[in-house]
Every structure is written in C-alpha cells, then in structure tokens.
Amino acid sequence: PMATNGKLLNYYNDYPENLFNLQWMEADLDTPTRIYIPNTAVLKDEAGIQLNPPADFSIIPINNTKAGYLEIKPTGGERQLTLPVME
C-alpha cells in the first residue's frame, strides 16, 4: 500500500494463489486508500478486484509506464482487498 486511510492491519502476497491481500481499518470518510500496482494490466478484469465492503475505486495510470495506482473510496470500518498479482 502506498497510502492507507486509517490503520493498516495486514497485507501479504499469497504466491500459491497469485493474490495480494490487504486489510485496514478506516479512520475517516474523506481520505482514499491508494495501492501501487506495478502492472495495471492485472486489473483489466475488474471482477478480479475483491473489495469488502464494496466501494467505488479508480485505476490511475502513471504516464509512460505499465504501473499505476488503485485508489479506493472510503466507506468506514474494517476493509479487505484481494487482487491478482500477475496475468
């Protein structure tokens, strides 16, 4: 994670399952959480982005690279995110 709204509880790569997992407790309803994504192509199928509770998010590309950011709007409370890590 690049910037977490609130307290970071846990994050890890689940290499056998090819997933990245993140848990955090949000502190407010104004600040998004931002995750650096080395290759945003892994997010092209948005069905692979598992966010609990569900919320709006955006993918922000970094110019002239394959990288970008996943920016997640806050909903309050404990949050969990699971993403694919490779195509």
Residues 42 and 85: their CA atoms lie apart, in Å, by 7
Could you write out the DSSP letters of every residue in 52-71?
ES---EEEEEPTTSS-EEEE
pLDDT of residue 86: 78
pLDDT per residue over 5-50, tens digit each? 999 999 999 999 999 999 999 999 999 999 999 999 999 888 899 9
DSSP-assigned letter for residue 87: -
Confidence of residue 87 (pLDDT cuts 50, 70, 90): low
pLDDT per residue over 43-80, tens digit each? 988 889 999 999 999 999 999 999 999 999 999 999 99
Residues 25 and 22: their CA atoms lie apart, in Å, by 10
Residues 9 and 6: their CA atoms lie apart, in Å, by 9
Residues 67 and 60: their CA atoms lie apart, in Å, by 9
Residues 15 and 86: their CA atoms lie apart, in Å, by 10
